[in-house]
Amino acid sequence: MPDHTKTIDPRITSPFHEHTGFEMLEWRENFVRLRIPLQPQHLNRHGIAHGGVILALLDEAGGIAGNWCSVPGNVRNSVTVDLTAHFVTRAVGLRVTATARVIGGGRSLFFASTEIHDDRGTLVAFGSSTHRRDRDSGHLEGTPLKKDGHD
């Protein structure tokens, strides 16, 4: 499996990100673009991107959009409490890219809107999600990253 960990910010990497091959394209306050290069393990029995891969990308992008941190080396954490997805069409090409924006919320909850496009720029899926921030993650400054790199 290709090593994609070099393109993921160490503040958000995890064994799951490493396994799926998430690539960080852009991350700033209330916004993220993530991509997954589609590999054989991401495909269903029909040879197209599995719906679970699309859902995972929707979930991760929405959460990461709301966890940007203004202090290098610090982190913010959240958990997903609600995820709604709508599949529009199958993905064509070698990758799918998610663009997520925080559309509202406060210190403890935030709401994200996410779209996933394929290599042609075709909308594959879209969704909304609600995320609950950890107790220490309500401020842009976040908290120091743990030594193992995982939160």
pLDDT single digits (tens) 76-124: 889 999 999 999 999 988 999 999 999 999 888 999 999 999 999 999 9
Q: Does an H or E element contain 22, and which?
A: none
The structural domain count of the chain equals 1
Residues of the domain holding 62: 5-144
Residue 79 sits in a domain whose CATH number is: 3.10.129.10
Render pLDDT for 51-74 as a digit per residue (tens, 0 to 9): 999 999 999 999 999 998 888 888
Domain for residue 149, yes or no?
no
Q: Does a structural domain hold residue 151?
A: no
Q: Express each pLDDT in 22-57 by its tens digit.
A: 898 999 999 999 999 999 999 999 999 999 999 999
Residues near 112 by beta carbon (within 8 Å), at least 6 away in sequence: 61, 62, 63, 65, 66, 100, 101, 102, 103, 128, 129, 130, 131
Residue 26 lies in a domain: yes
Going by C-alpha positions, the residue among 133, 10, 142, 137 that lies closest to residue 70 is: 142
Residue 150, domain member (yes or no) = no
Residue 60 placed within a domain: yes
Q: How many angstroms separate the CA atoms of 41 and 44, rounded?
A: 8
Place of tokens 């589609």: 38
